[in-house]
């Protein structure tokens, strides 16, 4: 399918030379571009038509023009050749970080109308969790345990991005991460390959729609292939050393799921994987991606990661870096121009075959064709004026934030708060910070659009209730963020110890004067994301001191966390009666949190990652193997508990649920078929609410030891007070298969299995079944 202008007006066409004029807000195609457009009949014929079109075009291209298609230029990076000249010479195929619809149309006009072969450009941008309207960060979307919610969020993000002419996003990130010190954990779905795979599929569908080229959708780019989330020490960019068993069973499945869902592109990773940089890794890019998975899209490097092959000590220099990357299977270079400078010589010397270049360009042009760019390369400027931060976008963003929040503690039913309170103190450095509520990778968002927690609460109480606020403390990174120039967090304004002490005392005084205190603590958005790894998980700055002082007043305290990773809240879990993890909830975060605090929304999210008590436990995850003393998992450290603070899949509600009556349809199942499991779920409380029913299995014996539990199915269910429902879960035996380090192949091994169903990874409802050959 091809992109079409919505409600395209009837216009007359005036041409001066070959330059089309813009009338009624629509940029019309000139005669040269019209000659290049595939017919509607060709579009209906699908891939075969795309291949014929692309192969015909390839025959007309020079080597330099082909390499141009393999080159991406960033708006914020200096080039030795002006952008317009690069376009006219056919030396660029894509641009990055341009978000102005008029400029995108101007550059596209140069390529389509003035370029020798009239090949459209593809414009990319990091649409990670929203474009102008910011949605919860991906880790938060995973906490919804609702793939349909993640799909909807990315669908709405694609709608906004496409309104300004963006065709391509660099998402979803599907790296499994089990070390919360790693800053980019906030961009993924957490620790589990099954949950991660379902979220990967959903986000690809959200971005791309039913088919590539669906109106108001954009090309997805699954990243970072592969193993990026296993950086040593949680230090971003550091090497990843992963066993084959872990690679195939934990870290590759979400990528395969995204490929099966139809992702049109894939991005390589920065780091070394088992000693070989991912951007020059033939095993990953050829053996796995092309040969085994039959991926038909194109591969783009990460930022300057081809040039960095020399930095890694892998390539001997720029020409060797270009040669190794393209021969491994990297089709397009992001931002640096090693390909443009070095590949012509490499082809002439025979170290890179012409067929290799042709295949790389064929993949890129095929995606441009399938996106409809050869037929409709321009965006209607009116879309950018009417489709950003709409009421529909805000409603969708608020719903996503409400469904992503996780209630970690609610002793004595402190939440929801009474709507008849006379005074509320909203305290903390993040309580009224518009940029921080958005989260990292909100590069196209406008902080002015955001609703803070303070604003959301005050909006609920326009009169009759005193809502006071103070920062109490300020927080700041020790080292600057790489995004400070693009999307900074507020800088501290308190310059002396006396000023800081006065602000602290003022905040505690407000707590004492109020009926209840809401403390909004966590990390500034610059403290999470790329190059935002940490050596500790403590609350930054004096936030812990502020929290303890607030609790010491004796007033009821609600802790609202704003974060992109688990933080050390062990003290809070024992002393603060109510804890709500809101993550970075996005543009409508303040309204969503207010709805949650006062009961207009009921938390139903679940943790997508195990929550440690202390940084010394990490990496900590539920799907570990059995050990010599399997019944003493909480006594592995002599100085502290080795058990998690909160298990994977954990989350409370304002209502209560009863789970019992586990049944399976058969005691045995043949390999390759499926088994239906059911359980009775009842809302035993007085409020409507959601519960996530989770199914875990364990293979008792086989060619290799298997994890103590593995998630294999889940379903989020909404129930009214007193309502009871039989929840059926389908267990596909394909999901019981694994790659064995003994046999060096994937298979479903026959034998006995344990099965649990419950509301987190410590589920107790248990049965067994046997897989037959």
Give me the active site residues, please. Answer: 302
Q: Is 491 exposed, middle or buried (0-12, 13-18, 19+ CB in 10 A)?
A: exposed
Cα gap 530→523, rounded to integer Å: 14
Of 531, 443, 564, the residue nearest 124 (C-alpha)? 443
Is residue 299 a contact partner of residue 329, using CB atoms and an 8 Å limit? yes
Report CA-CA distances (Å) from 211 to 44, 52, 581, 766.
12, 19, 35, 41
Cα gap 290→284, rounded to integer Å: 9
Cα gap 399→402, rounded to integer Å: 5
Residue 63 DSSP symbol = H
Phi/psi for 766 (5° steps) reads -130, 145
Here the tokens at position 163 are 């309104």
List all residues 6 or more positions away from 56 whose beta carbon is below 8 Å from its beta carbon.
none
Write out the DSSP string of 673-716: SEEEEEEEEEE-SSS-EEEEEEEEEEE-SSSS--BS-EEEEEEE
Report CA-CA distances (Å) from 392 to 224, 306, 417, 505.
31, 41, 28, 42
Cα gap 159→207, rounded to integer Å: 9
Cα gap 710→32, rounded to integer Å: 57
Place of tokens 């003994």: 742
Q: Is 69 exposed, middle or buried (0-12, 13-18, 19+ CB in 10 A)?
A: buried
Angle formed by the axes of helices 354-370 and 338-349, nearest 10°: 140
Question: Other CB atoms closer than 10 Å to residue 345's CB: what's the count?
Answer: 13
Identify each DSSP E strand in 307-459 by its residue range.
333-334, 406-410, 423-427
Here the tokens at position 66 are 């082909």
Is residue 429 a contact partner of residue 471, using CB atoms and an 8 Å limit? yes
Phi/psi for 625 (5° steps) reads -80, 160
Phi/psi for 517 (5° steps) reads -120, 130
Handedness of CA 136, 138, 141, 147 (dihedral sign): positive
Here the tokens at position 332 are 């397009």
Cα gap 636→525, rounded to integer Å: 34
């Amino acid at each position: 399918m091809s992109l079409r202008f919505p409600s395209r007006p009837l216009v007359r066409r005036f041409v001066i030379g070959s330059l089309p004029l813009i009338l009624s807000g629509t940029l019309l195609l000139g005669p040269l571009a019209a000659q290049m457009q595939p017919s509607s009949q060709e579009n209906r014929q699908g891939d075969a038509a795309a291949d014929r079109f692309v192969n015909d075009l390839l025959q007309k291209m020079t080597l330099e023009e082909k390499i141009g298609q393999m080159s991406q230029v960033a708006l914020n990076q200096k080039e030795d050749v002006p952008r317009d000249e690069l376009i006219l010479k056919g030396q660029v195929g894509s641009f990055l970080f341009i978000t102005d619809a008029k400029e995108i149309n101007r550059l596209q006009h140069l390529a389509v109308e003035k370029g020798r072969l009239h090949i459209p450009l593809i414009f990319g941008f990091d649409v990670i969790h929203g474009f102008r309207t910011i949605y919860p960060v991906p880790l938060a979307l995973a906490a919804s345990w609702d793939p349909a919610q993640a799909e909807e969020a990315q669908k709405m993000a694609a709608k906004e991005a496409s309104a300004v002419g963006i065709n391509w996003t660099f998402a979803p990130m599907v790296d499994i991460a089990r070390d919360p010190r790693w800053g980019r954990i906030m961009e993924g779905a957490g620790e589990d390959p099954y949950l991660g795979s379902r979220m990967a599929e959903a986000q690809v569908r959200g971005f791309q729609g039913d088919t590539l080229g669906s109106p108001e959708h954009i090309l997805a780019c699954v990243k970072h292939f592969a193993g990026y989330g296993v950086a040593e020490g949680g230090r971003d960019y550091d090497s990843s050393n992963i066993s084959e068993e872990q690679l195939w069973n934990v870290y590759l499945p979400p990528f395969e799921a995204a490929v099966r869902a139809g992702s049109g592109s894939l991005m390589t990773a920065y780091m070394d994987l088992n000693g070989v940089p991912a951007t020059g890794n033939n095993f990953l890019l050829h053996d796995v991606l092309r040969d085994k998975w039959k991926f038909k899209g194109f591969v783009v490097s990460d930022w300057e990661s081809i040039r960095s092959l020399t930095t890694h000590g892998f390539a001997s220099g720029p020409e060797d870096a270009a040669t190794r990357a393209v021969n491994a299977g990297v089709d397009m270079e992001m931002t640096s121009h090693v390909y443009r400078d070095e590949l012509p010589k490499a082809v002439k010397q025979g170290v890179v075959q012409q067929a290799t270049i042709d295949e790389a360009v064929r993949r890129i042009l095929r995606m441009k064709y399938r996106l409809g760019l050869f037929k409709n390369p321009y965006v209607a400027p009116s879309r950018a004026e009417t489709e950003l931060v709409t009421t529909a976008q805000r409603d969708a963003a608020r719903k996503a934030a409400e469904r992503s929040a996780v209630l970690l503690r609610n002793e004595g039913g402190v939440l929801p708060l009474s709507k008849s309170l006379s005074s509320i103190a909203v305290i903390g450095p993040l309580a009224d910070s518009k940029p921080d509520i958005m989260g990292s990778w909100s590069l196209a968002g406008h902080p002015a659009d955001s609703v803070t927690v303070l604003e959301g609460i005050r909006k609920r109480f326009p009169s009759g209730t005193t809502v006071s606020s103070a920062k109490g403390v300020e927080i700041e990174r020790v080292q600057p963020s790489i995004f400070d120039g693009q999307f900074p967090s507020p800088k501290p304004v308190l310059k002396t110890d006396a000023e800081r002490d006065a602000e602290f005392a003022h905040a505690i005084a407000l707590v004492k004067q109020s009926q209840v205190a809401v403390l909004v603590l966590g990390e500034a958005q610059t403290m999470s994301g790329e190059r935002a790894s940490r050596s500790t998980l403590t609350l930054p700055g004096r936030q812990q001191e502020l929290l303890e002082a607030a609790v010491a007043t004796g007033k009821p305290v609600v802790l609202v966390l704003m974060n992109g990773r688990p933080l050390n809240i062990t003290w809070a879990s024992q002393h603060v009666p109510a804890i709500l993890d809101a993550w970075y909830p996005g543009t409508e975060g303040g309204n969503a949190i207010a709805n949650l605090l006062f009961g207009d929304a009921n938390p139903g999210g679940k943790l997508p990652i195990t929550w440690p008590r202390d940084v010394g436990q990490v990496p900590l995850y539920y799907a570990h193997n059995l050990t010599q003393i399997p019944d003493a998992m909480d006594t592995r450290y002599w100085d502290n508990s080795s058990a998690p603070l909160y298990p994977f899949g954990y989350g409370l509600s304002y209502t209560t649920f009863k789970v019992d009556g586990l049944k399976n349809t058969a005691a045995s199942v043949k390999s390759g078929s499926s088994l239906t499991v059911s359980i009775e779920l009842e809302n035993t409380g007085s409020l409507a609410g959601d519960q996530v029913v989770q199914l875990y299995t364990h293979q008792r014996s086989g060619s290799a030891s298997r994890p103590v539990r593995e998630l294999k199915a889940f379903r989020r269910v909404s129930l009214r007070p007193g309502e009871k429902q039989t929840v059926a879960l389908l267990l596909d035996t394909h999901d019981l298969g694994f790659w064995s380090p003994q046999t060096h192949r994937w298979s479903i091994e026959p034998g006995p299995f344990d099965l649990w169903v419950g509301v987190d990874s410590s589920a107790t409802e248990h049965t067994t079944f046997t897989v037959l050959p």
